[in-house]
Amino acid sequence: MLTLTETATTAVKAIISGNPDIAGGGLRIGQGLDDNQGFAVSVVASPEPGDSMVESDGAKVFLEPTASAVLDDKTLDAQIENGSVTFALVPQV
């Protein structure tokens, strides 16, 4: 199952806390607009039916079924710089 680094956990919590209209929500990772290219990330109040959830220290990430299968052996990491967040997926060790 997808895991989150401490930095990714902090980033997800900061993003959600910055959106008070979705308190208790999380990030949703799904397939990108182009099926051959990456993933789409959105801030949502709750998961869609069929989504799985990864929670780390209060940070919630909802995974679309296809994304869940592909990311099963990955770790979500983040880099926070100048108020910007860049997420990266790395293999689990």
pLDDT tens sequence across 42-81: 999 999 999 999 999 999 999 999 899 999 999 999 998 8
Backbone angles phi, psi at 73, to 5 degrees: -110, 25
> Residues 25-48: what's their mean pLDDT?
85
* pLDDT value, residue 34: 64
**Domain that includes residue 73, residue range:** 3-91
* One-letter identity of residue 50: G
Count of domains forming the chain:
1
* pTM score: 0.90
Beta-carbon contacts of 4 under 8 Å, excluding residues fewer than 6 positions away, are 12, 54, 56, 59, 61, 75, 76
* Gap between the Cα atoms of 18 and 74, Å rounded: 26
* One-letter identity of residue 84: S
* Gap between the Cα atoms of 93 and 90, Å rounded: 9
Residue 53 maps to which CATH number? Answer: 2.60.300.12
